[in-house]
Chains A and B, each alone.
Chain A
Amino acid sequence: AQDKEIRIGFINTFSGGASIYGKHQKDGVELALDHLGRKMAGLDVKMIYGDDQRKPDVGRQAADKMLKKDKVHVVAGITWSNILAAVQRRVIRAKKILISTNAGWSAMAGKNCSPYFFSTSWNNDQTPEAMGHLMNQLKLDNVFLISANYQAGKDMLTGFERFYKGGVAGRILYRLGQRDYQAEISQIRAVNPSALFGFVPGPMGIAFMKQYRAAGLHESIPFYSVFTIDYMTLGGHGKAAIGTYHTSYWNNSSDDPVNRKFIEDFKEKYGYHPSMFSAQAYDMPMLVDSGVRAVKGDLSDVKGMILEMEKADFKSTRGKFAYNTNHIPIQNFYRREVRADANGDPEIVTTGVVFENHKDSYYETCKMKW
């Protein structure tokens, strides 16, 4: 019996402290569906949203429910590596398509890679790799590194140093969830490096930036960050972010009509500026749609869908890109900086390409097996 509708399960953090990630991504997805007329190859789209409460086993529970109860064709979403780690096995074993709209867990690019898995975001290392490269371009030497003391945090440094050629003035791994950084800041000042590279995501980042600025280091030691500053956190950063640099896969300033339409309609619909998370999530339904159309809505032909999706033949906010053999995007990475707009409020502007068609560095270790 052919399904008359396509069911997509979307797992993310919707309750509790980190629910902001879920919100931005869900809004992106919903907008995409609007743009698709809420149909894919004539099939109605049914979204099932599942809250993981940022707990792996709860995320796992949600996935189970989607597979068994809702009989979804696609499981998507997921912000955190550890939740992706918890969810992936079940979904892949059930031979359903799994799409990460954020989590860039390296294992999925390498040893755990699977034809059923796609990413509309990136691999954790890629963004810091770009930053490392950028710092080379800027001829920066003697850079200080700060990152969070957990897996993703360490991946970030690995990625950065894979490309960064200059000297390292020192490194700090701070505690996950840390709120006060004066100690680290004093240490950085003492070393007096030429620049600071940091992975300080979300609220930690906001706290760090405020304190960094309060200590007056932002002038003497410029801060080059990844995943710290984005339209999601910009409000919280406020002016403290002005004058900082970061790299991202998303050229938010690009005039690509798809991108423009996305940003405009998004602001229109939700009343706030989309973040890169929204952009990634926006691509997910588009990607699925390409697959569904290829198999003319015969959702039983999962393989057919996948083969089509591998072509990445859909309108992405990042413009044209290709999928690598491990289904991680091969994409450009941009240098972005925070400037004061006309009335002094911070805005993010893309000011150049760091990488063209950048591959992640795990795909060689990926052995696809159906």
Chain B
Amino acid sequence: MLTRVKLICLFLSAAILLAVPPLAQATGEDFYVTLFARIMIFAIAAVSLDLILGFGGMISFGHAAYLGLGAYAVGIFSHYGITDGFLQFGVAILGSAAVALVIGAICLRTRGIYFIMITLALTQMLYFLGISLEEYGGDDGLNTDRSEFVTALDLYDDVTLYYFTFVILVVCVFIMHRLINSRFGMVIRGCRSNEDRMQAIGFPTFRYKLAAFVISGAMCGVSGALLANLTEFVTPEFMHWFRSGEIMIMVLVGGMGSLFGPAFGAAAYLLFEEWVPEIMELVVSGSGQNWQFIFGPLLVILVLFAKQGLWGLIPGGRSNDG
């Protein structure tokens, strides 16, 4: 269960997220609204990945696929002038789920490195598919309009979009919380620990793993749809394998197999990307562009020494605090 320190961190960060828009506008820095919206969107992606990665032990190197699918669901509709949010998000979720179902059905026959590679491969296929879709701009991508749910909810207002994202993030985390502690969650974690034994005591593991895979994909689809709304633009880039890698990094940096870790990981990664170059610029001007020179080794160190990720560094409590 969560220790006090962790709880405090949790409430603090929630408070911060809530306070960002007013603060930003007060200080005229409303760019941070977009930045933190972006953070929360990737947090959703990371949380969804953690379900199969951290809890299910399925190392999917292709999670960017669902980010892209979700985004294209929004993009393609608005390409045809359909901006109804319920429709777009509905299709984003169902579409990602459907694709996840197919990909999962193929990949889950394999294990270990084979699984890593085949998820990667299938995602690359989607990537190239995206590039060759001339109708939807191919590699130039597609400019999109933001979704329209109800007139009250005007996503063109960045702050509204921000809180909209915030709510969805909270919902996703809560869902995840129920999920991993439920019977279903126990099965998933059991499969990670010892799948043969799971079968021996009577679990048809395949269908449970597949279900987890689909849920995770669908949730990531949502974050994709949100991303399309934020950037008002979709591109095959969303599905590039490097992107999958980044989401994995977020999960690991935050803490695999922990409920809140991945969200923190997303924040850490994106803020790093945002601020470290600036700091470097201050130190040596022109050096900002080499931020990866710092980030790479940092990542290695983190993997080496902070096995539980940042969330695990916060004192007390096992990381597996689902």
B235 within 8 A of A: yes
Number of A residues near B (Cβ < 8 Å) is 32
Partner of B31, one of A19, A56, A68, A105: A68
> How far does the alpha carbon of A65 sit from the alpha carbon of B275 in the complex, in Å?
12
A220 within 8 A of B: no
Chain B residues contacting A151 (CB-CB under 8 Å) are: 134, 137-140
Let me know if B233 and A86 touch, CB within 8 A: yes
B77 within 8 A of A: no
Let me know if A150 and B138 touch, CB within 8 A: yes
Partner of B141, one of A22, A56, A65: A56
Let me know if B139 and A82 touch, CB within 8 A: yes
Let me know if B34 and A61 touch, CB within 8 A: yes
A229 to chain B, nearest CB (A): 23
Let me know if B131 and A15 touch, CB within 8 A: no
How many contacts A-B (CB < 8 Å)? 84
A280 to chain B, nearest CB (A): 20
> How far does the alpha carbon of A346 sit from the alpha carbon of B105 in the complex, in Å?
55
B277 within 8 A of A: yes
Enumerate B123-177 residues with CB–CB distance to A below 8 Å: 128, 131-132, 134, 137-141, 143
Number of B residues near A (Cβ < 8 Å) is 30
Let me know if A56 and B289 touch, CB within 8 A: no
Let me know if B277 and A64 touch, CB within 8 A: no
Let me know if B143 and A61 touch, CB within 8 A: no
B298 to chain A, nearest CB (A): 15
> How far does the alpha carbon of A158 sit from the alpha carbon of B267 in the complex, in Å?
44
Let me know if B289 and A22 touch, CB within 8 A: yes
Let me know if A89 and B232 touch, CB within 8 A: yes
Given the known interface contacts A14-B289, A151-B139, A176-B139, the answer about A57 and B227 at a Cβ–Cβ threshold of 8 Å is: yes
Let me know if A150 and B139 touch, CB within 8 A: yes
> How far does the alpha carbon of A149 sit from the alpha carbon of B34 in the complex, in Å?
34
B291 within 8 A of A: yes
Q: Which of B30, B138, B289 has the most CB of A within 10 A?
A: B289
A60 within 8 A of B: yes
Enumerate A127-161 residues with CB–CB distance to B below 8 Å: 149-152, 154
Let me know if A82 and B237 touch, CB within 8 A: yes
B63 within 8 A of A: no
> How far does the alpha carbon of A154 sit from the alpha carbon of B134 in the complex, in Å?
10
Q: Which residue of A lies closest to B38 (CB)?
A: A61
Chain B residues contacting A85 (CB-CB under 8 Å) are: 137, 140-141, 143, 233
B181 within 8 A of A: no
Let me know if A86 and B141 touch, CB within 8 A: yes
A51 within 8 A of B: yes
Enumerate A17-45 residues with CB–CB distance to B below 8 Å: 19, 22
Given the known interface contacts A15-B290, A51-B288, A57-B238, the answer about A68 and B29 at a Cβ–Cβ threshold of 8 Å is: yes
B141 to chain A, nearest CB (A): 5
B110 within 8 A of A: no
B303 to chain A, nearest CB (A): 21
B145 to chain A, nearest CB (A): 10
B221 to chain A, nearest CB (A): 17
Which B positions have Cβ atoms within 8 angstroms of A? 29-32, 34-35, 38, 128, 131-132, 134, 137-141, 143, 227, 231-233, 235, 237-238, 277, 288-292
Q: Which 4 residue pairs are nearest across A and B when measured between Cβ atoms?
A: A68-B31, A14-B289, A69-B31, A150-B139
- What are 28 A-B contacts defined by CB distance under 8 Å? A14-B288, A15-B290, A16-B292, A19-B289, A51-B289, A55-B237, A57-B233, A57-B238, A60-B232, A60-B233, A61-B34, A61-B38, A61-B231, A64-B31, A68-B31, A68-B34, A69-B29, A69-B31, A69-B32, A85-B141, A86-B143, A86-B231, A86-B233, A90-B232, A107-B140, A149-B131, A151-B138, A154-B134
